Structure 1
């Protein structure tokens, strides 16, 4: 069994950046809960996939995930990372600007049996969107 940091790194590289549905299926527990989903919004694994597959990757050409720090304790991994790419598609209602975008993220993932079970996260997406709207 791989350690929890490896699981999180693989998820970031293969699922978020790579769009690999098979890796998503392998790494997402059926009872996964996204604790950072907005109130009333879906908080399951499929909603997490949709965020990457239908929102971020189509909006950010050449999407990459750069992991800066990872700290693991018990069954939780905290990761500080940057999701970046060129803004070539609509992103939460902001039309493409062609600008490079960098979304700073800190998240915590609880891993059980090599799979994501829970997620908490904060990011600066609202600031990024505000800057894109200013032109």
Structure 2
């Protein structure tokens, strides 16, 4: 009966967010936390609730932020990301395509779609739409994210938004400056 109730809760929370079956038997608590975090932080972008899901300090291995090495960050430092995304991509949606769990890890592959209506990375709004993918791995301890690995197709997104110069144009612009 307990498993049935948990499955019903997960389905109710995740129904609009999960596009395919999850593989998380035995890891329902971390799955439930991920799905709630996904809804609150990534869909609603309610940055005021970040400490519900992230430890006050966590380790980020976020290659799409220009890094790749381990970096200790604070949960508070994540707030601007959600605040900015509400401004520059208010219609953004994220769709869970695949969720896998193992031990204290949750792996999520998502598709993101949106329209750039405000400045993004200091670049003027284009009004163009994009569709891109991302994969995130979260390590949970005591119900909170304590480590995250993430990457996304940022080049693909910027290209779709017209914010990347084709290589030949970039080379020509550099040559003109010399």
TM-score, with length taken from structure 1: 0.84
Q: Does residue 136 of structure 2 align to residue 114 of structure 1?
A: no
Which structure is richer in relative contact order (CA contacts within 8 A, separation 6 or more)? 1
Q: Return structure 1 stretches of 4+ with deviation > 6 angstroms.
A: 39-42
SS state at 1:61 partner: coil
Q: Which residue of 1 aligns with 2:79?
A: 49
Aligned residue pairs total 133
TM-score, with length taken from structure 2: 0.66
Q: Give the greater-gyration-radius structure (CA).
A: 2
5+ residue gaps in structure 2?
Answer: 1-27, 166-178
Once the 2 structures are TM-superposed, how far is the Cα of residue 134 of structure 1 from its aligned partner?
Answer: 5.5
Q: Bigger shift: 103-112 or 20-29? A: 20-29
SS state at 1:16 partner: helix
RMSD of the alignment, in Å?
A: 2.3
Q: Does residue 107 of structure 2 align to residue 78 of structure 1?
A: yes
Higher strand share: 1
SS state at 1:47 partner: helix
Higher helix share: 2
